[in-house]
């Protein structure tokens, strides 16, 4: 596991492994320790709770956004309607051999996620992902705005676990030797967890398939082609399941927000844009309002039933003002705006709502680096341009670049899905998986830059010591130093 240069010194690798274990131990204590912390129900727990066979004894309206419920009564599970990968994981936590027969404690879900996350990092280290990359990605993961979702009945932690699994799997495909089948199984499982957790995450399978097919080893392997095809099939199956099948969806709410609080709020000519989408003249004054501001008449609901998201996308692309305003709001939601923070259970000592945050959370690093639009777009466009240039030159997407390509595509797909699916209503909440992918990409790049600096320092130090042993005071040439410390993205 520990290798000397040309990576970077063993001491640095050992410190990175220690840091990884400390970070993961802190995350485990945060989820499983006392007091209980998690994410309060904002009215969406039913999507996971009902098919998993769970029921809360406390009315959601009394605790929404403020307090978490520590335990849930078990009912017979019913996956015939509303099945999702998130509900499946919660059902596993509720029916594990060590689980209580009558109730599910919220921390049992957190314990399952802790075990799966630890397994992914063990696989990553074993298959050659550098300890420093693992440590910085773990730093992202233990941000309370991500980690505390594991103590909840939201679908988001399942999607984030799937994204992490795909990253490890793609890395494993490139670093592994021989048959890439085991790594591809991990990628497919990650795609299933993410794309089948909720309707808005359907495109993650496509985002995983493209970097896989960009690797020669995958294209030339029957298992590789099958794995990429399975990712595509899972995405298409998710679209069908949530759009026309028995999956949970709220098209009336989503379509209203996508039209009136989406294109209607940013278009240069809102009335014309709404008219092109088939909205009657009597309702066009609603531009800029969300679904919850006023009752929606049945006639308007019928007009929105057949909303074409392809036509909606064309309206954004044709209207430069709308596109510019949408990109500005996207940058704020992804890079600057605060995220969900964890809640506590109700206590007579603390009758008011409390949230949990940490000053060293990774989100503060991202906010500092990408706060300004020029930095944010330079980062995303530069990364995307570099990836495209490698593909255009038929260069292999190695482990780092393959993972970054998946993350870049996930950011784009998740953000577009949020805007086209629900407009700008709660955009900062709806892009949580995109923000998670952005933070992981940023962590990988920071880790690689640190590795490059450590390699360069170690090589210069070794050259200086060799020169001293040879009795010369000649320092290595600038050309030689550059050649030996080349920034290799392994």
Domain ranges of the chain: 1-147, 155-248, 250-345+357-431
How many C-beta atoms surround the C-beta of residue 173 within 10 A? 27
Q: What is the pLDDT of residues 326-385, one digit of tens each?
A: 999 999 999 998 877 788 887 666 666 678 888 899 999 999 999 999 999 999 999 999
The residues pairing with 71 across neighbouring beta strands, listed in sequence order, are: 105
For residues 228 and 126, give the distance between their C-alpha atoms in angstroms, rounded to a whole number. Answer: 23
Task: Say which residues have a Cβ less than 8 Å from residue 31's Cβ, sequence separation at least 6.
Answer: 37, 107, 110, 111, 113, 114, 147, 148, 150, 151
Question: Which pLDDT score, from 0 to 100, does residue 181 have?
Answer: 77
Question: Which pLDDT score, from 0 to 100, does residue 482 have?
Answer: 45
For residues 239 and 215, give the distance between their C-alpha atoms in angstroms, rounded to a whole number. Answer: 26
Closest CA to 151 of 27, 41, 60, 31: 31
3-state class of 104 per DSSP?
strand
pTM: 0.91
Interhelix angle 362-370/432-469, nearest 10 degrees: 90
Closest CA to 179 of 126, 211, 249, 226: 226
For residues 229 and 205, give the distance between their C-alpha atoms in angstroms, rounded to a whole number. Answer: 9
3-state class of 201 per DSSP?
helix
Closest CA to 408 of 375, 442, 374, 432: 442
Interior CA angle at 367 toward 364 and 373, to 5°?
A: 175
Question: Which pLDDT score, from 0 to 100, does residue 463 have?
Answer: 76
Question: Which pLDDT score, from 0 to 100, does residue 414 have?
Answer: 97
pLDDT in single tens digits along all 490 residues of the chain = 444 334 557 788 889 999 999 999 999 999 999 989 999 888 889 999 999 999 987 776 665 667 888 999 999 888 888 899 999 999 999 998 877 778 999 999 999 999 999 999 999 998 888 899 999 999 999 999 999 999 999 999 999 999 999 999 998 776 555 567 788 999 999 999 999 999 999 999 999 999 888 877 777 888 888 999 999 999 999 999 998 888 888 889 999 999 999 999 999 999 999 999 999 999 999 999 999 998 899 999 999 988 999 999 999 999 999 999 999 999 999 999 887 778 888 766 666 667 888 889 999 999 999 999 999 999 999 999 988 887 777 665 566 788 999 999 999 999 999 999 999 999 999 999 999 999 999 999 999 999 888 888 777 777 777 787 876 544 455 444 444 444 444 4
For residues 138 and 144, give the distance between their C-alpha atoms in angstroms, rounded to a whole number. Answer: 12
Question: Which pLDDT score, from 0 to 100, does residue 152 have?
Answer: 95
Closest CA to 166 of 362, 391, 383, 405: 405
Question: Which pLDDT score, from 0 to 100, does residue 353 have?
Answer: 65
3-state class of 355 per DSSP?
coil
Q: What is the pLDDT of residues 117-135, one digit of tens each?
A: 999 999 999 888 889 999 9
φ, ψ (nearest 5 deg) of residue 74:
-90, 140
Closest CA to 149 of 132, 163, 135: 163
């Amino acid at each position: 596991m520990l290798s000397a240069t040309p990576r970077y010194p063993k001491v640095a690798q050992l410190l990175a492994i220690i840091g990884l274990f400390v970070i993961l131990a802190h995350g485990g204590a945060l989820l499983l320790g006392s007091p209980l912390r998690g994410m309060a129900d904002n009215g969406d727990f039913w999507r996971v709770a009902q098919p998993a066979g769970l029921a809360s004894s406390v009315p959601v309206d009394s605790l929404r956004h403020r307090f978490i419920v520590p335990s849930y009564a078990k009912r017979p599970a019913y996956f015939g309607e509303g099945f999702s990968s998130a509900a499946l994981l919660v059902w596993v936590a509720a029916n594990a051999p060590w689980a209580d027969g009558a109730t599910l404690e919220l921390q049992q879900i957190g314990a399952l996620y802790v075990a799966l996350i630890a397994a992914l990092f063990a696989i990553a280290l074993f298959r050659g992902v550098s300890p420093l990359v693992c440590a910085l990605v773990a730093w992202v993961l233990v941000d309370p705005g991500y980690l505390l979702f594991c103590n909840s009945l939201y679908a988001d932690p399942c999607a984030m676990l799937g994204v992490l699994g795909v990253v490890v799997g793609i890395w494993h495909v490139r670093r592994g030797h021989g048959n890439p089948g085991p790594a591809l199984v991990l990628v497919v499982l990650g795609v299933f967890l993410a794309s089948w957790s909720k309707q808005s995450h359907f495109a993650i399978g496509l985002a995983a398939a493209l970097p896989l097919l960009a690797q020669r080893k995958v294209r030339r392997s029957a298992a590789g082609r099958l794995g990429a095809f399975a990712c595509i099939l899972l995405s298409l199956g998710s679209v069908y399941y949530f759009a026309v099948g028995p999956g949970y969806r709220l098209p009336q709410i989503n379509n209203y927000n996508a039209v009136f609080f989406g294109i209607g709020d940013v278009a240069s000519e809102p009335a014309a844009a709404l008219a092109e989408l088939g909205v009657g003249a009597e309702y066009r004054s609603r531009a800029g309002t969300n679904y919850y501001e006023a009752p929606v008449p049945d006639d308007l609901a019928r007009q929105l039933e057949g909303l074409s998201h392809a036509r909606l996308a064309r309206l954004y692309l044709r209207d430069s003002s709308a596109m510019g305003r949408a990109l500005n709001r996207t940058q704020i939601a992804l890079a600057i705006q605060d995220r969900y923070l964890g809640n506590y259970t109700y206590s007579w000592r603390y009758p008011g709502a409390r949230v949990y945050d940490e000053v060293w959370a990774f989100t503060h690093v991202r906010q500092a680096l990408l706060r300004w639009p020029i930095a944010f777009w330079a980062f995303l466009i530069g990364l995307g341009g570099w990836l495209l240039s490698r593909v255009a030159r038929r260069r292999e997407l190695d482990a780092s670049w393959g993972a970054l390509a998946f993350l870049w595509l996930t950011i784009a797909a998740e953000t577009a899905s949020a805007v086209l699916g629900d407009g700008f209503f709660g955009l900062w909440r709806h892009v949580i998986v995109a923000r998670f992918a952005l933070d992981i990409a940023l962590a990988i790049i920071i880790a690689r830059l640190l590795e490059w600096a450590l390699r360069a320092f170690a090589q210069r130090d070794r050259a200086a010591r060799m020169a001293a042993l040879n009795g010369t005071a000649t320092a290595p040439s600038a050309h030689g130093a550059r050649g030996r410390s080349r920034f290799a993205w392994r």
